[in-house]
Amino acid sequence: MSAESETSPAGGPIGTAPADTGTSFSLRRAFAALARGDLASVRVLLGIAVIWTIFQIANDRFLSAVNLSNLTLQIAATATISIGVVMVLLLGEIDLSVGAVSGLAAGAMAVLSVQHGWAPLLAIVAGLGVGVAIGFFNGFMVTRFGIPSFVVTLAGLLAWQGALLWVLGDTGSVNLPPSIITDLTTTFFDPVIGWILGAAAVVAYAASRLAVRRRREAAGLGVSPLSGLVLQLAVIAAAVIAAVAILNADRGVPLAAVIVVVLMILFTFITERTRYGRHIFAVGGNEEAARRAGINVNRIKVSVFTLASMLAAAGGILAASRLLAVNQQSGSGDVLLLAIAGPVIAGTSLFGGRGYIWSALLGAVVIGSISNGMDLLALDSDVKFMITGAVLLAAVTIDAVTRQRREAAR
Amino acid sequence: MSQSQSTADASGADTASQPLLALKGFTKSFGPVEALKDVDLEVYRGEVLALVGDNGAGKSTLIKAVSGAQPADSGEATWEGRTTRLTTPHDATELGIATVYQDLALAENLDVVANLFLGQEVVNTVPGVHVLDEVGMEQKSVELLSSLGVTTLRSVRTEVASLSGGQRQAVAIARSLLGEPKMVLLDEPTAALGIVQTAQILKLIERLRERGLGVIVISHNLANVFEVSDRIAVLRLGRLAATFKAGDASREDIVASITGADVRERATEETPL
């Protein structure tokens, strides 16, 4: 294919079309892009389809409205924590303390609101504040002393778990009475409002994509084929319609799901459309190049660690809200592992500089589906651990292989 | 050594009246090692000056002294006739000196546009938020690369990771021009490039000269040096050994100056080194 070769005939104009788009949509090109790992989100959607099919065959209650509604609530906390993990991974760093921080923040919130009588909203803010403080500390240790984030946050993993035990005190558990805190995961919207929210999201997304396209056309720049864009928008609209219909068939669209989607959109905007986000990618791709380009690398790192721990705290608060309690197990166990595995499964690289915020949600859906499906099948913990471990390894292998292929393709 | 003085003076006169940058007595030591000793050098507008010399002759040290990355211990720099400081990279950038180091410093995970504008992104200010002006940056990228005759890029939205060595070099040079510099320092721009790509980069360097920039190029490849440069400065053991006008000097002259021996005499005697 001459179009694939690196050099165009001498004197040819420089193309401006987004890479991997030709003049028309082609299945073959789409498959090639899939193999290169360029369409990680499509790959993971196919994965979700396979997983759902398997579990539906094994147990016909898997795709029921009740179960999918439960799944939505189950993954809200992990998906929120994972947003922060994606940002840290984009930097080429890691945060192993997100699980422990989520537990400690929820513990602080619960103790302040239940035992000290703080207003629930104030207690939530305080919980987020705990996250901010810890994240700033992590970033400070990493940038000021040059300690690998792996080590700083590994120490934090232990230390913040200890802090949770200390905060909870002798009882070791704090139950949450009904309040704004528990409302976070027990509020469901009226079906009509659900449809309005869904429609608004689709229309806003389509409008923004079409606006970008129009601006590019007006500026005489290349645009990807309209057929591909329409197909994408159709798939997304169908997914949103299906999700709202299913959730409405049960209790309605949960507030927690709206919170998660809003966070996804907000942080996608920050990472993809702002100078700050561009600098995060640059630091993750080539720290020295970023520094020489005048980017304040330390400031970027500290702020990302701070945001990551704040999002971990937010996830911990959602988890506590769903459990209606904070106990000594909050934020421990597989919370950390799943929060990191999710984005990686969905195509965010462990090696820095490559990834996307939505991988936090897509990955949480993959892992949440497997876990939920195995629970429905009443599998024992031994099998569940081994299967989850195998899926994680497979996903990381795919990441490593696509990376090798990309380097070989040079 | 007497030949060096005379050639330098003669070539200086017909390039332009006043040098863009003039160095006088540049000296730099690393502990007991004198990396640069009393180097005088002038660069004119619209001129490509090749800096040649053996490994350890002080080429990179001189480039770093000019770019402010490793300032010289002593010596006087004159920019457009005025005495100036060259003690930090910021000083150099302020004057209009851009440097392209051998490692290029590109972020491989970002596309060409993002790399060109890295650290100086253009933003649109929608009330309250700054949004990257991708359309504007892309247009400027295409203009810039086209004006430099870079025609081998399939798309400016290609990730740098999938570019060839020559294309990366072109992107790095193009990026250095975004700040509208008056002088560009290129450290081994053709090292590790194939024949076709080398030719493309040399053509690009000629475009820089056509734009009226002063260009200093470090190179090991004498064929390239003769093809692209107006003058050739030879460094040996930290000293400026000689300066030649590219048209007047032969390959043997340069090699002799680099090694410090008269190659032609040695060749006739046929004594092995």
Separation of first and last alpha carbons in chain A? 16
Q: Which residues of B touch A6 (CB under 8 A)?
A: 152, 154, 163-164, 167
Kindly identify which residue of chain B lies nearest to residue A352, measuring between CA atoms.
B109
Could A410 and B139 be called an inter-chain contact, meaning their C-beta atoms sit closer than 8 Å? no
DSSP B166-199: HHHHHHHHHHHHTT--SEEEEESTTTT--HHHHH
Q: Which residues on chain B are in Cβ contact (under 8 Å) with A11?
A: 151
CB B212 within 8 A of CB B46: yes
Asked if A278 lies within 8 A of B121 by C-beta distance, the reply is yes
Enumerate the β-bridge partners of residue B131. Answer: B124
Q: Which two tokens stand for residue B146?
A: 């086209």
Amino acid sitting at position B263: V
Q: What is the ipTM of this complex?
A: 0.86
Farthest-apart Cα atoms in chain A, separation: 77
Average pLDDT over chain A reads 89
Helix-strand-coil percent breakdown of chain B, rounded to 5?
A: 40, 25, 35
Strands B231-236 and B214-218: unpaired
Q: Which residues contact A77 (CB under 8 A, 6 or more apart)?
A: A102, A315, A316, A318, A319, A322
Interval A291-339: pLDDT, tens: 988 899 999 999 999 999 999 999 999 999 999 999 999 999 889 999 9
**pLDDT range class, residue A84, cuts 50, 70, 90:** very high
pLDDT at A190 over 90: yes
Q: B109 in contact with A at a CB cutoff of 8 Å?
A: yes
Distance of CA B47 to the CA centre of its chain: 11
* CB neighbour list of residue B4: distance below 8 Å, 6 or more residues apart: B240, B241, B242, B243
Helix (H, G, I), strand (E, B) or coil at A175: strand
Residue B252 in contact with residue B227, Cβ under 8 Å?
Answer: no
Residue A29 pLDDT: 62
pLDDT-derived band at A32 (thresholds 50, 70, 90) equals low
- The Cα of B145 is separated from the nearest Cα of chain A by a number of Å equal to 8
* pLDDT score of A21: 42
DSSP secondary structure string, A152-174? HHHHHHHHHHHHHHHHHTTT-EE
- Amino acid, single-letter form, for residue B208: L
Chain A residue whose CA is closest to B103: A289
Contacts of B153 in chain A (CB under 8 A): 14-15
Give the residue from A5, A14, A221 showing the smallest Cα distance to B151. Answer: A14
A16 touching B (Cβ < 8 Å): yes
Task: Residue A220: list chain B partners with CB under 8 A.
Answer: 139
Give the pLDDT score at B273.
47
Neighboring chain A residues of B109 at a CB cutoff of 8 Å: 281, 284-286, 352-354
In chain A, pLDDT over 90 holds for what percent of residues? 73
Q: Which amino acid is at B142?
A: V
**Average of per-residue pLDDT across A197-211:** 94
The helix/strand/coil state of B47 is strand
Strands (E), A66-223: 173-175
CB atoms A274 and B132 under 8 Å: yes
Quote the tokens at residue A391: 């899926």
CA distance B34 to chain A (A): 27
Find the residue in A nearest to B197 (Cα): A7
Chain segment A95-149, per-residue pLDDT in tens: 999 999 999 999 999 999 999 999 999 999 999 999 999 999 999 999 999 999 9
What lies within 8 Å, CB to CB, of B63 at 6+ separation is B51, B99, B185, B187, B216, B218
Q: Nearest C-alpha of chain A: how many angstroms from B88?
A: 13
What is residue B104's three-state secondary structure?
coil
pLDDT for res A350: 87
| CB interface of B with A, residues 164-203, below 8 Å | 164, 167
Please choose, from the candidates A162, A161, A156, the residue with its C-alpha nearest in 3D space to the C-alpha of residue A97: A156
Tell if the CB–CB gap between B145 and A14 is shorter than 8 Å: yes
Structure tokens at B111: 């596309």
Chain B CB contacts of A288 under 8 Å are 103, 105
Element (H, E) at B239: strand B239-245
Residues of B in contact with A289 (CB under 8 A): 105-107, 118
pLDDT one-digit tens code per residue, A245-295: 999 999 999 999 999 999 999 999 999 999 999 999 999 999 999 998 889
- Predicted pLDDT of residue B252: 86
A281 closest CA partner among A142, A90, A31: A90
Average pLDDT over residues A378-400: 85
More confident residue, A398 or B23: B23
Q: Is the dihedral of CA A191, A192, A197, A198 positive or negative?
A: positive
A384 in B contact zone (CB under 8 Å) = no
Instruction: Tell me whether residues A285 and B162 touch, CB distance under 8 A.
Output: no
Query: Which of A7, A91, A349 best probes binding to B when mutated, by most B CB atoms within 10 angstroms?
Result: A7
Q: Check residue B106 and give its pLDDT.
A: 94
Task: Give the dihedral of Cα atoms A139, A140, A141, A144; nearest 10 deg.
Answer: 120
Reported pTM: 0.87
Q: How many CA atoms lie within 13 A of A251 on its CB side?
A: 16
Tell me the count of A-B CB pairs closer than 8 A: 124
Q: Which of B93, B104, B108, B109 has the most A C-beta neighbours within 10 Å, making it the best mutation to test the interface with A?
A: B109
The predicted model gives A202-206 an average pLDDT of: 95
Q: A92 to chain B, minimum CA–CA distance in Å?
A: 12
Residue labelled with tokens 């497997």: A370
What distance in Å separates the CA atoms of residue A125 and residue A146, rounded to the nearest whole number? 31
Contact A282 B156 (CB under 8 A): no
Whether residue B156 and residue A14 make contact (CB cut-off 8 A), yes or no, is: yes
A13 min Cα distance to partner chain B (Å): 6
Contacts of B267 (CB under 8 A, 6+ apart): none
Using alpha carbons, list the distances in angstroms from residue A80 to A85, A277, A300: 9, 18, 21
pLDDT in 10s for each residue of chain B, 273 residues: 344 444 444 444 444 478 999 999 999 999 888 899 999 999 999 999 999 998 888 898 999 999 888 889 999 999 998 999 888 888 888 899 999 988 888 999 999 999 999 999 999 887 778 899 999 999 999 999 998 888 888 889 999 998 988 999 999 999 999 888 999 999 999 888 888 889 989 999 999 999 999 999 998 888 888 889 999 999 999 899 889 998 888 888 888 888 887 545 444 444 444
Asked if A273 reaches chain B (Cβ–Cβ under 8 Å), the answer is yes
pLDDT of residue A325: 96
Q: Quick check: A176 and A326 in contact, CB under 8 A?
A: yes
Contact criterion met (CB < 8 Å) for A13 and B151: yes
Q: Which sign, positive or negative, has the C-alpha torsion B124, B126, B129, B131?
A: negative
Contact A87, A283 (CB under 8 A): no
**Mean predicted confidence (pLDDT) in A362-386:** 92
**Residue of chain B with shortest Cα separation from A277:** B132
Query: CA nearest A343: which of A332, A328, A354, A327?
Result: A354
Which residues does chain A have within 8 Å of residue B201's beta carbon, measured at their own beta carbons?
none
Across A233-240, average pLDDT = 93
CA distance B93 to B99: 9
Residue type, A244: V
Asked whether the beta carbons of residue A353 and residue B163 sit closer than 8 angstroms, the reply is: no
